[in-house]
Amino acid sequence: MIAIIDLDIGNLANVKKVTGGEITNSPREVEEADKIILPGVGSFGPAMDNLKTGGWLEPVRDWIRRGKPFLGICLGMQVLFEASEESPGKEGLSVFPGKCRKFRAGKVPQIGWNNVKFKKEDPIFSGIPHGEYFYFVHGYYVDSSSGEVVLADADYGIEYPAAAVRGKVYGVQFHPEKSGWAGLKLLDNWRRIC
């Protein structure tokens, strides 16, 4: 079973529809899950606050520590990093090294299709061509100096990580649930490999 965490910040219906997962707002229910998805649309600080007040913080950290499959989408990816300019003083989950920064050029937020360039081979991109387009909606991007976790980049006036991985924890800045066949293929790959 795939548990989709409901923090009141995500595109839950579409994620549920394309993954067959179950939306949950109860941290206890994730113990019955095989995999977790954290979708997110909104702000870094409120997302971290909702993780804490909803009782999710320790269960999510424990899940990740145990090496269990986890996928963060958009804001769900950003909270896997250390912090964000969007919410000074708020700590992220620090699964990946790096901080989120605001785009300084172009129309902000970035809304629309952008191509994703793979930096490493990974089964999550199996069957998806290098440079394929995915759908993005975000005003902040991850700034990570750790090439070791970055799987793919996108460019919006600056090159930034579009996907990251450590063990079975994946993060994607784009919305696979809105990215047509390529997004569906990525989600299918994630279900299969994790």
Active-site residue 194, yes or no? no
CA quadruple 99, 102, 104, 110: dihedral sign: positive
180 three-state secondary structure: helix
Active-site residue 175, yes or no? yes
Which position among 86, 132, 138, 175 bears the catalytic label? 175
Distance CA 51, CA 58 (A): 9
Which position among 74, 100, 132, 138 bears the catalytic label? 74
Contact 187, 170 (CB under 8 A): no
Cβ contacts of 140 within 8 Å, gap of 6 or more:
44, 78, 84, 85, 86, 100, 101, 102, 103
Which position among 86, 100, 177, 194 bears the catalytic label? 177
Active-site residue 100, yes or no? no
Question: Catalytic residue numbers?
Answer: 74, 175, 177
